[in-house]
Amino acid sequence: MKKNILLTTFLLLVCMSGTAHAAGTAVGGSAAFGDHSSSAFTVFAEQVYNPWVSGELGEIAPTAEIGASWWSIRSSKDVYGAFLAPGVRLSLFTSQSAFRPYLGGSLGGAVITERNFDQWKMGSNAVFRTKGMAGVQFGESMQHRVQGEYTTHSTWGITTNDDAFDTYGVSYGLNF
């Protein structure tokens, strides 16, 4: 069942990448390390929409990200999840540059397969997912991006048990 969720989400990501708007779509993956020797792996598709504000030094644009994650926790069974998160991205030096650094963040929702794993007591299978990132997009015709990211999953105190699960990682994406 869990592998079917990951496979379905991955196929959805591939299909979604063909619906690029003017600003671009990225498909990629990330590897991260988290609390208490855990590791996390994610596949995602991210849409960057037309900017709200644009100038010579940069632009601010809305984003939307969808994906699936797998957490491997040494003393517990694996946990799987899927997420959808709107966000915002501040790109610097956007005027026809092949090297474009950016900062971004997102706030959305995630569904995870386990409420309790290892010592974490999440309190719910539906949690909030927040992410902060800093990265660089580079390339002319084929654009790549590499970013560092911090992601946390939590119920924000809505449930009695709310142990946030944090990860720090690196992701690679290919822009269309």
Domains identified in the chain, total number: 1
pLDDT recorded at residue 14: 44
Q: What is the CATH number of the domain that holds 133?
A: 2.40.160.20
Q: Give residue 120's Cα distance to chain centre.
A: 21
pLDDT recorded at residue 126: 85
Residue 111 carries which side chain, given as an amino acid letter?
Answer: V
Alpha helix stretches (DSSP H) within 1-150: 2-16
pLDDT in tens, 104-123: 999 999 998 877 776 777 77
Residue 31 lies in domain: 2-175
pLDDT in tens, 26-58: 999 999 998 767 889 999 999 999 999 988 788
Stretch 131-148: mean pLDDT, rounded?
Answer: 89
